[in-house]
Structure 1
Amino acid sequence: MRNTIALVFLACISFSCSDSVVDLKAPDGRLQIEIQPQADRFQYRILKDGQLLLDTAYIDLGQGTMEVVGKPITRSKDTVWEPVWGQASRIRDYYNEIGWPIRSSRFNGYLWIRAYDQGVAMRYEGSAGDTLLFKTTYAIDQAWELYAPNGEREPLGPLSLAEMQQEARAKSKGIKVPLVATNPKKGALAFLESDLYSATATQALAIRPTNGATFVGENRIVPQNDTLVTPWRLILVGDDLADLPTNTVALNVASPPENEDFAWVKPGLTLWDWRVHGYTTEDGHEYGIDNSSYERFIDFAAQHELPYFMIDANWFTKTHPGRFEVNPNLDLAKTLAYAQEKGVEIILYYDRHKGDYGDDKLFTYYADSLGVKGIKYGFMSTDVAFTKSAIRKTAEEGLLIDFHDGPLPITGVERTLPNAITREYCHAQQDSRRAFTPESFIKMALINAITGPLDMNNGNFDLGGINAGIRKKGPKKKNSYRSTVVSETARTLIIHSGLVCIPDAPEAYAAKADLFKFIKSMPVGQWDESHILEAEIGKQITTARRHGTDWYVGTVSAGKARQWELNLDFLEPGATYEAWLYEDTQATDTDPEAYRIRKVPVKKDDTLSIYLATDGGNAIRLIKN
């Protein structure tokens, strides 16, 4: 690990004999935060390349009149750390920091502000005797277009400042994070939080409108044993929207794991039963909740070296404290034994709709009695205490955890506890057509994904069957699923997750085995570097990820068919590659399951001309010679 500690240069500009503005700069000098203590809060504004980015706003803990005691602590840190899994194998943590020592009748401690090249982070740490309200205001002017997640509906935006404030007033819990702002002259911003897991907060960040031309982010902070720690409040900064989903500030400020070995956490692909119910194979088998269906999934996973198979709801019919009533059509013990024999790990669903087993015993039962590898936990919403407890307890039992159905966006926790492998902080359900369109996919990939890994369940291959409305757990409205098989393939790469859950039947993948080869070859969560090459809201996203010397590239397009050119300027100079192209064709415009595969030699700075069908996509694997 590379580790350098140095003093930050602070330039003070006097406002009066008692008040001064401190100028904190990011390591590369482009970002500049001007900070001024006031009677009961701190004032700040942010500049980029000498131009105003965010105007005067405030950082406030609600502690009342405060006194700055002593000189601020200033420091710089430059280290490199290696995550257990993620979008990059090595992450540089490089920042300049100031810590203001403050004292009041309700709080004694520090306000820490860090300046990264890619954003700003703010946190209070200290002692307090009662609950305080951590607030930061954001002075966004009219020149910005705004976006935000919207649950299982299409993300909000592009909206003006006034329109987003109106949306926020209509929502009792405020705007979901991240609030994203774009400006062609100033770049892109995202407002969110990180390290909620290690904070003493009882609420997640809520962003609400103020009476002026600003927003305020706030959550209640409850001291534990007189110790008060807020989450890190983040303002991520990019030259454009493409920079934000791979921004590492949220991970860098998250607490590292404490004396724990997470080598047992293995990211990877998982098959999933839920959306396959009702699929009928050529040999007459209809998929359902039964052993023969599950053995087909397990056999396919074993044959293709897929590590996981996820069994969703309805494997149990009722729950009692400490006991499940298993579906009478299923011998669960037999299925689990068969999976173990085949070397496939099981991830098992749970929610409390049919009764409460009791979390104190649930995770031990899953790990020890059933011997499964993970749990998919549904319908607990944004309960902070539950989410923290569930991640910690599953980690203690050696279980992965996947939160579903409107979960908490607990950003950065995958660094602290890497068993928090993914979460459905997006629209991921085929049985609702409210949002899942190519346009909304692109929005979610650029907005929701800023918070961390998403379980979006991409990778449908039997588009004809899904659009026929015959799946028991699929859309009933015919021809409502707009995509192509190549676009579906690309989506499994574009959406970052430690667990890529593919939702179709084994036979659907086997029927297109040459296309499925791209998906099963992906080293999920083991990427050395990741970049978004193209990002245009509602039109296109192109993501490139490298593992070793090979690259994977995925593109999703919305709207009419078109020809598009991809410049390979990200490849290694002097090297040559075999490019395997998985492509839409002219026929794909009327048959979304039509595709072709071709191989071409390429090198750095070559340009590939690619046909993107209506609502289509493209996937490329570049293998270095």
Structure 2
Amino acid sequence: MNKRFLVFTLLLAVGLGMCISCTTGEYELTSPDKKLVMQIQQEDNGELTYAFTANRTPLINKSSLGFKLESEEVIPSSGWKIEDVSGRQVRGEWKPLWGKRAVVPDHFNELTITLTRPSGIPDRMELVARAYNDGIAFQYRIPSGNAGEAKVLSEQTAYNFADDYTAWFYNGENYNIGPEKLTETDGTRFPVMTVKAVDNHYLAIHEANLETGAPLVLQSKGGERLFSVASKPATLLSGYTSAWRVILYGTTPGVLTDSHLIELLNPDPDPAYDFSWVKPGMAVWDWRINGAEWEGFKYTMSYPSWIRMVDFAAAQGFKYLVLDANWYGPEFASDSHPVEGDKAKDVQNLIAYGKEKGVGIWLYLNDVGGRKFPIEETLKQYGDWGAAGVKYGFMSGSQEEKNPWTRKITELCAKNHLLVDYHDGPVHPYGQMRTWPNAVTREYCHAQLDAHRVFEPKTFVTTVFVNMVAGPVDMNNGMFDLRQGHTTRVDESQPVPSTLVSEAARTLIVFSGVTILPDIPEFYEKYPALLDYLSSQKMPWKESRTLAGEIGEYIVMMRQTEDAYLVGAATNESGRTIDLPLTFLEEGIFDAEIVEDSDDAHYLTNRETLKVSKKQVTNKDILKLKLAPGGGACLKFIKQ
């Protein structure tokens, strides 16, 4: 290493707070608050490794980096040299159109290590690493100018955890896997992988900005604490950029849930697109109302019921009505035309009526119709009609095949001023909402009305600390018809295992750019305090914060609007009493309305009972909340 490079390296170390040893090939990258440290080292055999420490506690021991090619060669390895090391600091901010908060600090330190070798394909590669205050991330790049391409057998990235921690995993439309000890895992697992390490140390493993290749899959052999990347990356060629491998960190699980780090690792929107039309908000929905009856009126998925739902939405200030399957014919029939079929004329009339009332109309599109008919023409027609969004269902193919199709549809929707929601096994969120703010949510969970075989109170308070870490999710919470036994509804006539208060609280707790309510107006109007709580959820949020919680146990979430602070709490099958300090409030006196489960409420036997109280409070007060088994609490604070 020449003197010029040595001087530069030392200056870099001072500027970024990094400790770099030029003689051993060791590099340390610290977070802006200096509490997180990523150690990167080139071993004697030329391979790269990393380790991760938080608050002086080792959490991930030395773990491999790089790729194994189809030729069985590992890169980097023997013959690879570190040619250059560069770094930078960023102390900026991101102001999303919508999100968990109005202003997101974008603070990180970055280190780029450039490696070269005399010959071979590729002959240059970069490791780019970033340290934020709530996690680290790294990606691989093949600089432009490399000739040829290299087929990859596997990615070498590994996570060698320092101890036998406890983990939970996303599991499609089933219970989350976990809690399980790391040594109990045997086989593949899907992110988000949320980890409870030693006391006050939580991690989440995910990815960000997946452009090419298969979405992240993890694997481990039984009896080990080592997890590796099982998903096959794209071919390495000039200009290749991998997804960011992300390790989120928090002293509580709520820090993981509140983070925007995944989004920050995605690029800003293309300046060619104007996204000022993107408006998050509450929506009503026609799928679950089908068959419901109230005082002689039977709801169906048809024009008279749609008009009734639009009128209700307008009265409450809800922004949207979502039309689900079969409006243009049987959704899986190959001859169901997504523009000309069945109720297309009614839909156009409904869109016009909705515009008069200030309510946008979403249109369902099944993958069968999306692929058989020209998708460009279909989405353009929806935009020309004035539709507000598209709910895209049952996308076919592998996750690797789904990703480019999802990206294409998202961009086409943006061109036609359409919001978009993906259902039925979608590609996991990886921060798309920053680049494409119209990508407001997806069913990266099992929507609770579909999930009677798996959905229980503990499912909810696990999902919010696992699935929701990845990004906005559409769980369809907020069912208020919780009567015992079967109802007249056509689809899923069983009640949700929850309480009224918990159902309302869940609509606030779940992060989504569109909160889709499943019930008929009359059941909401039956409970004025809870309906007011729903109507008060005026996005975009100014601030969001998980105030308390534990994975699989309970959660307390605060979200702030322009004129109110709202709090939602939910618990698992165990009832509990929570002391809630009001330190999140600003200075001043607030009128508080508190909705709790009744003393004898229970998620299985007495769901539809609640009590309402009002009081004046300040940020120095502590409220005691009683949550029934499977229950919750809803609070609204208005400054005097």
TM-score (norm 1): 0.91
1:59 corresponding residue in structure 2:
65
1:112 corresponding residue in structure 2:
128
Aligned equivalents of 2:137, 2:422: Cα separation in 1: 26
Aligned equivalents of 2:257, 2:194: Cα separation in 1: 11
Q: Secondary structure at the match of 1:70?
A: strand
Aligned equivalents of 2:173, 2:565: Cα separation in 1: 32
Aligned equivalents of 2:404, 2:179: Cα separation in 1: 33
Q: Answer yes or no: is 1:481 the counterpart of 2:496.
A: yes
Distance 1:41 1:385, change over 3 A: farther
Give the 5 Å matches for 1:394-433.
394-433=413-452
1:309 corresponding residue in structure 2:
321
* CA apart distance, 1:204: 0.6
Give the 5 Å matches for 1:199-214.
199=211, 201-210=212-221, 212-214=224-226
Q: Identify which range, 216-225 or 529-538, moves more after superposition.
A: 216-225
2:294 corresponding residue in structure 1:
281
Deviations 1:150-204 (A, max 9, x none): 111111111011222x2xx2xxxx31111111024251001110111xx3x2211
**Unaligned runs of at least 5 residues, structure 1:** none
Deviations 1:110-134 (A, max 9, x none): 2101111111110122245244444
The one of 597, 615, 620 aligned to 1:600: 615
Give the 5 Å matches for 1:252-401.
252-259=264-271, 260-282=273-295, 284-317=296-329, 318-320=333-335, 324=339, 326-327=341-342, 331-353=346-368, 356-368=372-384, 370-380=385-395, 382=399, 383-401=402-420
Distance 1:289 1:549, change over 3 A: closer
Give the 5 Å matches for 1:174-253.
174-185=188-199, 187-196=201-210, 199=211, 201-210=212-221, 212-222=224-234, 226-253=238-265
Aligned length: 600
Q: Answer yes or no: is 1:48 the counterpart of 2:54.
A: yes
Q: Identify which range, 147-156 or 381-390, moves more after superposition.
A: 381-390
2:9 corresponding residue in structure 1:
none
Q: Answer yes or no: is 1:470 the counterpart of 2:508.
A: no
Aligned equivalents of 2:344, 2:102: Cα separation in 1: 44
Task: Please tell me whether the aligned partners of residues 338 and 378 of structure 2 are also in contact (alpha carbons under 8 angstroms).
Answer: no
The one of 115, 122, 132 aligned to 1:102: 115
Task: Please tell me whether the aligned partners of residues 579 and 625 of structure 2 are also in contact (alpha carbons under 8 angstroms).
Answer: yes
Q: Answer yes or no: is 1:528 the counterpart of 2:533.
A: no
Q: Answer yes or no: is 1:455 the counterpart of 2:474.
A: yes
1:12 corresponds to which letter in structure 2?
I
Q: Answer yes or no: is 1:83 the counterpart of 2:96.
A: yes
Aligned equivalents of 2:421, 2:202: Cα separation in 1: 30
2:142 corresponding residue in structure 1:
126
The one of 18, 24, 42 aligned to 1:10: 18
Aligned equivalents of 1:70, 1:155: Cα separation in 2: 44
When the two chains are superposed, the root-mean-square deviation of aligned CA atoms in Å is: 2.3
Task: Please tell me whether the aligned partners of residues 126 and 142 of structure 2 are also in contact (alpha carbons under 8 angstroms).
Answer: yes
Aligned equivalents of 1:384, 1:329: Cα separation in 2: 29
Q: Identify which range, 85-94 or 552-561, moves more after superposition.
A: 552-561
1:439 corresponding residue in structure 2:
458
2:4 corresponding residue in structure 1:
none
Aligned equivalents of 1:40, 1:408: Cα separation in 2: 35
Task: Please tell me whether the aligned partners of residues 429 and 472 of structure 2 are also in contact (alpha carbons under 8 angstroms).
Answer: no
Q: Secondary structure at the match of 1:146?
A: strand
Task: Please tell me whether the aligned partners of residues 150 and 236 of structure 2 are also in contact (alpha carbons under 8 angstroms).
Answer: no
Aligned equivalents of 1:223, 1:528: Cα separation in 2: 42
* CA apart distance, 1:324: 4.7
Task: Please tell me whether the aligned partners of residues 463 and 485 of structure 1 are also in contact (alpha carbons under 8 angstroms).
Answer: yes
Aligned equivalents of 1:124, 1:555: Cα separation in 2: 41
Distance 1:493 1:48, change over 3 A: same
1:241 corresponds to which letter in structure 2?
P
1:229 corresponds to which letter in structure 2?
T
Task: Please tell me whether the aligned partners of residues 577 and 603 of structure 1 are also in contact (alpha carbons under 8 angstroms).
Answer: yes
1:58 corresponds to which letter in structure 2?
S
Q: Secondary structure at the match of 1:229?
A: coil
TM-score (norm 2): 0.89
* CA apart distance, 1:583: 1.5
Task: Please tell me whether the aligned partners of residues 448 and 477 of structure 2 are also in contact (alpha carbons under 8 angstroms).
Answer: no
Q: Secondary structure at the match of 1:276?
A: coil
